A and B are shown apart, each in its own frame.
Chain A
Amino acid sequence: MTRLILDDVTLTYPDGDRTLVALDRVSLAVRAGEVRAVTGASGSGKSSLLAVAGLLQRPDSGVVRLDGDELTGRSRREDAEVRRNRIGFVFQQANLLGSLTALEQLQLAARVAGNRRQVTDERCRDLLAAVGLERETARRPHQLSGGQRQRVAIARALVNDPALLLVDEPTSALDSARSREVVRLLARLTHEQQVATVLVTHDLDTLDLVDSRTELADGRVVAAVTPR
């Protein structure tokens, strides 16, 4: 089942007198249970693709669909609602809130989505256990290693049972062993929970762990490897 579709998406930015094309008629499809890596050099449009897929930015043209629903052309409020309930984000530096423990990071994400009752403490603890952090639930970000912080971020992204997981360079601050650990975990959870995962990365050493790959250059798709 195809969960995410980007169809002929173009995104431009004003750049002085010129117009910078961040995404040039990009098309992409990600199935449930699939991790699709998006690679490319700096400025190739990887993060722009993530921003459009995550409804953080509106494309100039083209269509974004999630589970068959067209998501382009909606209000900001509706975009935020989709982000709350159907999309999970893992950011580059984990971006955990410094004042919260690992468990509270998940609890807050559930509250923000209005899922305070549905997402119990038990579910949060189970998710932290699933990422190997059952003993670190009461630790704050500064008490965790870089890899552990990313694992908390992955658990937080999954807490509201999203259809789509958008992951922005999760291994940029990790050594190669930790990087493989994190991507392997992402792949396992993606398969188990049948989410569609878009993994933006420049880390070519972990690509053997993903299901498919799209390579961007200057905002265009220059290579695509379909799922195995």
Chain B
Amino acid sequence: MFLALRELRSARGRFTLMAAVIALLSLLVVILSGLTAGLAAQSVGALDRLPSYRVALSAAPGQDGFATSTVTTRDVDDLARTPGVLEADAWGVTTDRIDEDAVAVLGAEPGSALAPHTLAPETLVADRSLGLEVGESVPIGGSTLRVAATVDGDLLNHLPAVWVPLDVWQSLPGSGGKDATAVALATDDTFDPAEAPDGLEILTRTDARAAVGSYAAENGSLTLIRGLLLAVSALVVGAFFTVWTIQRTADLAVLKAIGARTTYLLRDALAQAAIVLVVGAGTGALVGAAAGLAVSSKVPFVVDASTTLGPLLLLVVLGLAGAAAALRRVVNVDPLTALGGSR
């Protein structure tokens, strides 16, 4: 890195500008990642908290699959008898209101693996953001339920969720007279989704996210924007190092003429690119994480390794790929050009 460091020092204006561009791209990617994760938590937080690994829906997964899916008690029983299924629990999903607040109402049999362990008949378990107190009586549909517990992060479709006994859920207008919306499955390694009863789609918990309407719409758009930003980053870094390498062609010819190995020159140039990328992307990620922490109480924003270090590493790796493509020129520089008028 002898030459790399000295060139960074000598052309610090150019490299600072490049690092600043990378920092801005990194800031954007980190903010988008944090926002995507924050919105995802609001869309599918309740789904991610399920103890079960798989979910059975009556319809193929797509936009708002949970809104259209209907399962019967017979489906639940059939699934329970399928080899490899340890437990099959009917799961109701709909929306309703508590006072004036719209809520996602999730129905489960008290005592099942699916239901919160604090859920008992004639009680509900509510997301803490609703502001309900334990012991408080809450009218919902035609019933009045006592708040058994409050929990954090139980959200679905951007609505705070309340867990109610399945029979209460079935009496809600939003349930549309269904037995349930889906079946939550606990399975072992021998379970084969192909052996599930006809008309049911078996999804992993992660794949089931796509069946939640708000998640599919938001995540798709934001992931596309993030992907484009990462691609732009690689192209920008590649373009910068292409121009930089062209500017250094005479120096590279001299170095090759005096015997420098191509691998030495490539290693040095890649180290230079790595320094610019790590400093630029690291600065952007730090600023992005700090900004995210500052607004996370007002905006759905998640600051963790997957939204900061993950994008940072991806940016550095893609940037290095862009730089590596540009550095092909290093291989092709002819040392003979170091001699003036060699012909």
Contact = CB atoms under 8 A, between A and B. Distances in A.
B339 A80 contact: no
A47 B259 contact: no
B328 interface: no
Contacts of B341: 42, 47, 92
B340 A51 contact: no
A112 B338 CA distance: 16
B3 A108 contact: yes
Interface residues of A, number: 40
Interface stretch (B4-12, B120-128, B281-289): B4-12
Contacts of A98: 10, 251
A50 B342 CA distance: 8
B2 A108 contact: yes
B259 A81 contact: yes
Nearest to A91: B338
Contact of A22 (B251, B335, B343): B343
B53 interface: no
A104 B2 CA distance: 9
Q: Which of A22, A42, A43, A47 lies at the interface centre, i.e. has the most chain B CB atoms within 10 A of its CB?
A: A47
A112 B339 contact: no
Interface residue SS majority, chain B: helix
A83 B2 contact: no
B255 A93 contact: no
B256 interface: yes
Interface string B248-269: 0011001111111100100000
Given A80-B261, A91-B254, A112-B260, A97 B339 contact: no
Given A111-B2, A112-B255, A112-B259, A168 B340 contact: yes
B336 interface: yes
B198 to A, nearest CB: 67
A146 to B, nearest CB: 14
B342 A89 contact: no
Nearest to B259: A84
Contacts of B340: 47, 91-93, 168-169, 172
A89 B336 contact: no
Contacts of B11: 99
Contacts of B257: 54, 56, 83, 89, 91
Contacts of B254: 89, 91, 95, 97
Given A51-B342, A168-B339, A168-B340, A99 B258 contact: no
B264 to A, nearest CB: 7
B258 to A, nearest CB: 6
A56 B261 CA distance: 14
13 contacts: A47-B343, A56-B336, A80-B259, A83-B257, A91-B338, A93-B340, A97-B251, A99-B6, A99-B10, A100-B6, A107-B2, A108-B255, A168-B340
Interface of A: 13, 22, 42-43, 47-48, 50-51, 54, 56-57, 80-85, 87-89, 91-93, 95, 97-100, 104, 107-109, 111-113, 140, 156, 168-169, 172
The 9 A-B residue pairs with the shortest CB-CB distance in the complex, in nearest-first order: A84-B259, A99-B10, A92-B340, A83-B259, A112-B260, A47-B342, A95-B254, A99-B7, A56-B336
